[in-house]
Structures are given as structure tokens and as C-alpha cells.
Chain A
Amino acid sequence: MTHSRFLALALLLAASLAFPACKDDDDPKPQPPANEGEVITTLRYTLTPVGGGAARTAQFRDLDGDGGTAPVLTYDGGAARLLLDKTKTYTGAVLLLDETKSPVDTISNEVLEEADEHLFVYKLSAPTPADLLTITRTDRDANMLPLGLETTVAPRATPGTGTLQIILKHQPGVKDGTEAPGDTDIDVSFGVEVR
């Protein structure tokens, strides 16, 4: 009597709780990523000569995000580094893209909208000669602090090479025009040659 009652109870429990486990159709299947998060996949730095001429570009692209396939650095014309003419001055513009989205999301527009929370920093490391080129940020946010989406790049007359590091700092509420506060959203380096 008690035995059968126990069995009935046991079967009921097993049925109610364990059965979903047997149905494979219930498994959620992986879906394409929802367009909810933000991933910066691409940074393109375009240098247009003042007074005309072919623009120079350098691009950092990591379509699968952190890890996995290594990011790809490309320069226009398949060059090994960014080639600048020592006789010209360039206007620089940074374009940031999220290419995991369809259509592609232009993150640099959002940076511009929130200019007072962002700061681009341009650094030249190991330049030979030391005064290879000068980079000046030409745009400012509402608080008259530099932003750096737009720049002027002026190579010196002497040829040479170096590494150009572009950093985007996210500084909501703490932006003071210096690099120190906030978090790093972008930190990429390109080879550069002046000739």
C-alpha cells in the first residue's frame, strides 16, 4: 500500500522534473549575436594632404573581437607602414566602426556626440630622428578641451621612421584634457615612415 503510493509519487516527480531533460527540441540554439552590445572592430586613420593629392590610410581591424584571429594592420597600397611625404602637411581623421553590426555602426559619430567624455591621444615612439613629425589635435569639445577625432600632421623635412600610437580614452565626468583619467577604449599602433 505504502509501497505503491511511494511509487506513484516517485513517478510523478520523475515525470514532472526529469522529462524536459529528454526532449532535445527544447534546447535553445545559438542565434546570431543580437545588436545589443558595442564592439569596436575597426580604426581607420586617413591622412589627406593639404592642397590636394592622394590620401594615406592606416587601418586596424579585428572582426572577431578579442582573441581568436589576430587583428590585421593594413596600409594603403599594401605598404608595410604609413608613408608620408616630407614636403606635405596632412589633415588627419579617425573613423571607428563596429563591423559586427548590419548595417555597420559608425562609432566615431557617437564619440563626436559625446565629445566631452572622450579624448584621443597621439604618441610617437622611437622616432628617428626625434622630431619626425608633429601631430596637433584640431577639434575641441563643448568645454574647449581637445577631442582629437581631427588632427593636423606635419612631417619635418628629414626622412625617418617611428611608431604612431593612437589611444582613445573614455573619461565620463573626469575629462581634464590629460591622458591619465578614465579607461582605454582604443590603443593601437602603426608604423610610420617619412620620406
Chain B
Amino acid sequence: MLLPAVGWAQAPVSGSVLTPTPASVNCGLTLSGQVLDHETRQPLPGATVVVFDAATGQPVPHGATQTDGFGNYHLHDLCAGAVRVKTLFVGYADEVEDLRLTRPTVINPRLHPTAVQLRSVEVRGARPVAPYTQVAAELSGRALDATAGQTLGEAVSRLAGVTVLQTGPSIYKPMIHGLHSNRVAVLNNGVRQEGQQWGQEHAPEIDPFLAQRLTVVKGAAAVRYGSDAIGGVVLMQPAPLRDSAGVGGRATLVAASNNRLGAASVTVDGNSRRLPALRWRAHGTGRRAGTTATPDYYLGNSGFAETAYAGAVGWAPVAGRWGTEVFYSHFATRLGIFAASHVGNLTDLQRAFEADRPLQPYEGFSYAIGRPYQHVRHGLLKATAWWRPAAGGRVELVAARQLDLRDEYDKHRPRNNELSALNRPELSYQNTTSTLDLTAELPARPLLGGTHHATVGLSGTYQDNTFRGRYFIPFYTNRVGGVFGIEQWSCGRWTAEIGVRLDRRDLQVERTLGAADNFAVLRNRFVVWTPAASVGAAVEAGPHLTVRATAALTRRAPAPNERYSRGVHNGQYEEGYDISLAPGAAPLAPETSRALNLTLTAHDNPRLNGELTAYVNHIDQFIYATPILPPVLTIRGPFPSFRFLSTDARFWGFDLSGTYTPAPRWTVLGKAAIVRTRDLRRQDYLIFTPADRAELAVRRELGRPPPGSGPGGSPRFYAQISGQAVARQTRLPANYELLDYRAAPAGYALLGAEMGAALRLGPCPLDVSVAGTNLLDHRYRDYLNRFRYFSDEMGRNLTVRVSTRW
């Protein structure tokens, strides 16, 4: 059986921490939420929720209730401290969650129907993933299952406020509130993903099948996740290792019609009966797709082949004070790049744009991947140890090493036969990163009538980047040392949080000049101190309304590509700011971001729930690429040319998402996002800002209601129809024809549908779904897809997903 969907934090807050509970501790806390069937997402009326004191194992006063007709429960007047929340319902496995109650808390237990033998599953998880006062959106359970077979970027783009920077049908980079690449941190199982994030067509090297939960922290979260997370953070969190005896697993199969994608993923979790402290996991995924079809033609050479595997072994004595885990994951992909997009100079580009379909000989469907293509491999070795002192609190040490290899092959091999026979990549990078993080959570203490607890941490990174082949970014080493502290205080309905962080980044760059006979190396060193601070507050303004506000100050040091890139990449010439600096001139300065975020969340209402986020992010010295005029002349003629410069910029906008239940088993889901940008020095818009977008879906659930029908009950079905509309981006910088090869494409609207059933295969649940996207086979292009210059987007696509657990 799959481990239940209980959160697993990057730096997990301990479960059963012994917290002294003196009389001064706040005893006015509420615990509320909704109990759901994990598979059907049906609310479970009449389920029992009991809260136990983690220290004594006894139920706490006011700590038991039953869910109402909508599956909702409310517990009031609970005291702060470590508790265990147990949810029970006939026909379902008990769900247990340990947490430290320091503020009004919402838990939505998702119960798994029991298989033939009733087994108790107990997961000691830890809730607060993101800072509580910060807005975060997550994909888990069925919403995550509905993205099976997609890349990480595609999956998180389902969340309001998250869009993607796309390169054709297979490369997706997450973009949060209009910011991306160097400004978005991606955490792969608690470790910052380090590779070649700067590239617009360099997608995160992560297998999302491993995730139990994908969380996006919207807005600056630098204090916790490192000083460049100005835009936000994407967290890929696997399920915790199994801690009940036995072996369980999950298998998923995905097939799609358009590019004939096939994906298979298997995860097996085990816990030894004889050595209950020993937990392990093995995971493997394969994804293969061929040529993508637009409504009118195929995108030649757009297939990909991806394999990923991961393994983990953990040792944590049951109810012990320490634990350790070693995790390894490997990701490899070979991504074909649509050949007609790999053009020569400006003249070739013009010719490609003027044609309404790609200039290439007709190609049919094929799984073959030829030049140009990318070959990317990423390995992560992570070792974790944690310890809970008897006095309370938790200490965790995480050491990790990552190796990222990225080879990019041009369209043509060298003409020289000997060189051609080597078949070397024209661009090849190797990045090795070692990180060490020590985090200590201090035990909660009473303070000013409430409870406070502090978290302090140290982190160190050593990174080394080399290349072979053509120069684009230099050799560099990056040494980062940081220290942070987060203090959280809660009292009654209020929670406040203050965080500070200081990093020292020491970047040493080595560039080569000339060839063998007149070879020289130029060295530059940049030491930048980047402080970060944040203040946040949250209040339960009512039993169903949470208000959160945060203010954050962050500095981001310029990345090596912003300083020293030079060359043609993706059909455009790009150069860093420092590489072409006049002697004596000042190098690129760090960015300083001042961000404000306000979020209103309506939750656990019987009918209307939703979340509204408003944000503004003011970035001084915002580093961006601006065109060089006249364009740089090469032997292949002039190329569209860009140089990194800095300006002052402002990003602001709104995200809205909500659900409405007009009648039982009907749900209307909606979301919308608006991003506005401003270049404050030139008093103009910034280029490549996501266009306004909105989505509306209607969902109907069918089948008998779950009570009594848990094990082996009748199938439950759902069907959903959805429409997505994206406007044309009209807020464009002046003289746009000089900045971009082509005007922003027209807006578009797409129709989608999905239906699924939760069936049973003997004792095992079997989830089956069919989803269709772009059902009307609409021809469209998206402003943030780099292939919009050359081709339309993918046409109609039907995806079948089957998954089972045991």
C-alpha cells in the first residue's frame, strides 16, 4: 500500500517532540480540516479524529470529534505541544500524523481504503513544508497523479501563478510570478538542484514520478532556501520511507496519443519485520516519446528518451531519537531538438519566420533522435542524519553531492571526417556540487503569552564547473557559506515569523584565450555578501479564513553566465556584462529584491473555498538581456545579439484559485493569474512576461458514496471538462521589432476533458484515467515558447494513465 499523503518537509519538524507544557502555554488553538478518501477525494462524514499527547500517549482534553456531513471537523481549545492526530473510519486504514501544535492548524487526512487484510499504516511525517506565513501551492494525491508522465515544469504549471518557459514540446522550465532560471530554486528531495539552470532551454533534471508532493513556494523564500530564490522555490518531495513492516509499492503506466509517449514507473518500499528500523526504497522510471504533431504537421526530431532511477536506505529505530538515510538518484535524458528550430543566422531566421510551416523535408512519425539534441545526466547522492535530543528540538545534517553533465549537439557534425567520427558535442558542461547543511530546531518555549520556536542553520556549497568544446560559459568555482535563523512565535490565532540569513559567495572564474600556441587563462574573482531577511504574519481571521502577509529583502549575486557568457547558443549571440567591460569599469552588482506578499485563504467551507495572492517585487539592479545594435557580426553573418545589463524592475500581480460546490458531487474549479512588469529606468515593460490567463473546470463525481463501501466497494468515477484561455501579451517594450524576432502571438483558448475511475484489481486499488488536451486540435502559439518562431504547439493529445498500489 502506498504511504499515505502526509507531508514530508525539507527540514522536517520532528514528530513527537517532548514539549514542556507549562500552564503558561497557549491553550486556545484550533485544529480543523476535512477527512477525505485518498482515491476518490470524497469527503468522509462520520470519521473519528482523536488527538493524543505525544508524551503520555493519552487523549488530550477537547481532543476528540467526528466529522460532519461534509467530512469537516473542528477541535477547539487545544494546548500547544507535540501531539499525534489519529483519524479512524470503518473500511479505511487508520491515518496517524505527528505534529507540533503551535498555532491554529489545518490537517486534511486522506484515508486509504483497506485492502483485504486490514493493515495499519503509520507515518511519522512533519507538516510545515514552507514557512507558514508564506504562500505555497502544492500538487499531491489525485492532482499529482493527473500529471503522471509529464515533466516537473509541466506539472507545476497547473498551479495558479506558475507558468512555464518552454522550448518545444519536451523542455519546460518553471516560472513563478514572471521570474525563472537563476531566480527559482528547485529542491530535489531537500537538496538544491545544481546544474546549468541559467539556460532557457535547460529544464530541471528531475523525475517527478518520485514525488509524493510538488510544492511551489511563491515569492522570495531566500532565508530558508538560499540567497537566489527571489522568484520562488519548487520542492520535489518523495514520500517518507515506509515505517510499518512489510513491502509495498506503486506502479504507473502512461500512454499518450500525440507523440506516442509511453512512460512506466515503479516504486517499491519496504520495512523489515525483523529489523523494524530498516527502511528502503527502489524506484525506476522510463519515458519515451516520438515526434510531436501539431494540427498540420510533425515537428521532426522532437522525440525524447528518459530514464531515471533512485534508491534509498534508512535506519531509524522505532520511537528512537535518531535516524539516518542515504539516497541516490540518477536522471538521464536525450532530448531531440526540432531540427527546423536550429537555424543559422538572421537571414535564415527571417526565412523560417516567413514560412507558415517549418522549412524541412516532410517527416513522418519517428522515435529516432538525431542531431540536434541534448544529452543530460544528473546524479545526486545524499546522506541525512537527524537526532532529537531529550530536551526537545531536532538537529539534522544533510550532506549531498551532485554531478550534472550536459552535452549539446549541433545540427551538423564537423566537416572534417576525423572530427566527425568522434561525434563530440559542440557544447559540453560538467558541474559538480557538494553541499553540507546543518539545521537545528530548538524546542518550543513559552514567550509573551504564546509559544515560540527557533530554527538555526548553517550551509556550505562548493561548486565546480568546467566545459569542453565551444566556449559559452567559463570554468568557475563557487564557494558559498551561509548562516540563517528563523524565529516563529504563535499565540492564539496569530503567528509571526522573522528570518535572517547571510551568505558569502566567492566566485572564481577562469576563461581561456587563444589556442595551443598562444594560450592564456584569465582569472577573475568576485566575493559578494548577500544578506536576506523576511518578516511574516498569519492570522486565522475566522474558522475558515486565513490571512498571511510577508515582506522579504533578498540579494542575489550575479550568476557566472550573467558575467562571462559569450557565444551563440539557441540561435542567438549572448554575452555577459563583465566579459566586455571597459578596463577599470565596475563589474555587475548584485540584485536587491524587496517583495511584499498578501494571501487570503478561504478553507474548509462547505461550498466556496479559494485563495487570492497579491504580490509586488521590486528588484534593484535587475539583470536582464538587452539587444546589441547593430547585431554582432560573425563569419555566418549577423546574429540576434544580446548583452546582460541591469536596470531597476518591478513585478506585481495576482493569483486566484478557487473551488465551488454548487451541489453535492459537483465542483467548479477556477484559477487565474496576472503578472505585470515594469522597467523603472526606461519606464517601459519588460520582455517575456507571461500573458494573462484563466482556467475554468467543471467536475462531476459519480458512484455510491463511500461509507460502508470502502473495501471492494463499487467503482467511483469522475469526469471533468475544462477550458483554458490565454490572452495575447500586449504589454510589450517599445520598439518591439528590435527586441524580438516576431510579434507576440495571438491569444488562444483550449478545451480539455478528463475522466477517471477508482477500481479494484483483486485486493489492490486500480486508478484509471483518460485525459484529453487541446481537444479541438486548435492551432496556436504561446508567447513563452521559444519554438513559437518556427512552429505551432502540440495538437490534440489523449493520455491514458493506469496506476496501482499494493
Contacts and interface: CB of A to CB of B under 8 A. Distances in A.
Interface of A: 2-3, 5-6, 9-10, 13-14, 16-18, 20-22, 27-41, 43, 60, 62, 64-68, 70-71, 100-102, 105, 107, 110-111, 113-114, 167, 170, 172-174, 180-181, 183-188
Given A66-B567, A66-B568, A32 B516 contact: yes
Contact of B469 (A27, A36, A102): A36
Contacts of B41: none
A185 B347 CA distance: 12
B387 A172 contact: no
Contacts of B417: 110, 113
Interface-central residue, A21, A40, A110, A170, by most chain B CB under 10 Å: A21
Contacts of A3: 387, 389
Interface string B393-431: 001010111000000000110111101001010100000
Interface-central residue, A33, A66, A180, by most chain B CB under 10 Å: A66
23 contacts: A18-B399, A28-B466, A29-B521, A30-B475, A30-B511, A34-B469, A36-B468, A65-B470, A66-B567, A66-B634, A67-B567, A68-B566, A71-B633, A110-B415, A170-B412, A174-B361, A180-B359, A184-B347, A186-B636, A187-B345, A187-B635, A187-B636, A188-B637
Given A33-B516, A34-B468, 7 more contacts: A10-B385, A20-B462, A21-B460, A37-B469, A60-B635, A65-B634, A188-B635
A5 B316 CA distance: 13
A132 to B, nearest CB: 22
B517 A33 contact: no
B436 interface: yes
Contacts of B632: 66-67
A173 B416 contact: no
Contacts of A9: 324, 385
Contacts of A186: 635-637
Contact of A14 (B436, B477, B521, B573): B436
A19 B652 CA distance: 43
Contact of A110 (B416, B424, B511): B416
A176 B105 CA distance: 71
Interface string B354-384: 0000010100000000000000000001010
B434 interface: yes
Interface in B327-352: 342-345, 347-348, 351
A21 B481 CA distance: 12
Given A27-B464, A36-B424, A183-B412, A14 B397 contact: yes
B198 interface: no
Interface of B: 320-322, 324, 342-345, 347-348, 351, 359, 361, 381, 383, 385, 387, 389, 395, 397, 399-401, 411-412, 414-417, 419, 422, 424, 426, 434, 436, 460, 462, 464, 466, 468-471, 474-475, 477, 479, 510-517, 519, 521, 566-568, 573, 575, 632-637, 639, 641
B359 A181 contact: yes
B415 A38 contact: yes
A18 B515 contact: no
Contact of A13 (B342, B348, B385, B479): B385
B436 A37 contact: no
A188 B634 CA distance: 8
Interface-central residue, B345, B460, B635, by most chain A CB under 10 Å: B635
A17 B469 contact: no
B517 A102 contact: yes
A40 B513 CA distance: 17
Given A17-B434, A110-B416, A186-B636, A37 B568 contact: no
Given A70-B633, A183-B411, A187-B345, A35 B419 contact: yes
A62 B383 contact: no
Contacts of B641: 67
A184 B567 contact: no
Contacts of A183: 342-344, 348, 411-412
Contact of B419 (A38, A70, A173): A38
A172 B521 contact: no
A33 to B, nearest CB: 6
A41 B342 CA distance: 21
Contacts of B462: 18, 20-22
Contacts of A110: 415-417
B344 A37 contact: no
B639 A66 contact: yes
Contact of A38 (B414, B512, B566, B637): B414
Contacts of A184: 344-345, 347-348, 636-637
Contacts of B436: 14, 17-18
A101 B418 CA distance: 13
B519 A32 contact: yes
A129 to B, nearest CB: 26
A157 to B, nearest CB: 32
A20 B345 contact: no
Nearest to B460: A18
A66 B516 contact: no
Contacts of A65: 470-471, 567, 634
Nearest to A68: B566
A62 B135 CA distance: 52
A10 B343 CA distance: 52
Contact of B383 (A13, A28, A113): A13
B519 A173 contact: no
Contact of A100 (B359, B397, B515): B515
Given A62-B634, A62-B635, A187-B637, A67 B344 contact: no
Contacts of B415: 38, 107, 110-111, 113-114
Nearest to B479: A21
A81 B687 CA distance: 40
A77 B468 CA distance: 39
> Which 5 A/B pairs are nearest by Cβ-Cβ distance?
A187-B637, A21-B462, A184-B344, A38-B414, A110-B415
B515 A32 contact: yes
Given A60-B635, A184-B345, A67 B322 contact: no
A28 B519 CA distance: 16
B519 A37 contact: no
B546 to A, nearest CB: 37
A111 B412 CA distance: 13
Interface-central residue, B417, B460, B515, by most chain A CB under 10 Å: B515
Contacts of A22: 462
A96 to B, nearest CB: 9
Given A184-B347, A188-B637, A172 B397 contact: no
A136 to B, nearest CB: 23
A105 B416 CA distance: 9
B419 A32 contact: no
A41 B475 CA distance: 23
A29 B464 CA distance: 11
Contacts of A37: 414, 419, 424, 426, 469-470
Interface-central residue, B347, B471, B519, by most chain A CB under 10 Å: B471
B637 A33 contact: no
A31 B636 CA distance: 27
Contact of B464 (A17, A28, A67, A180): A28
Contacts of A31: 512
A101 B343 CA distance: 25
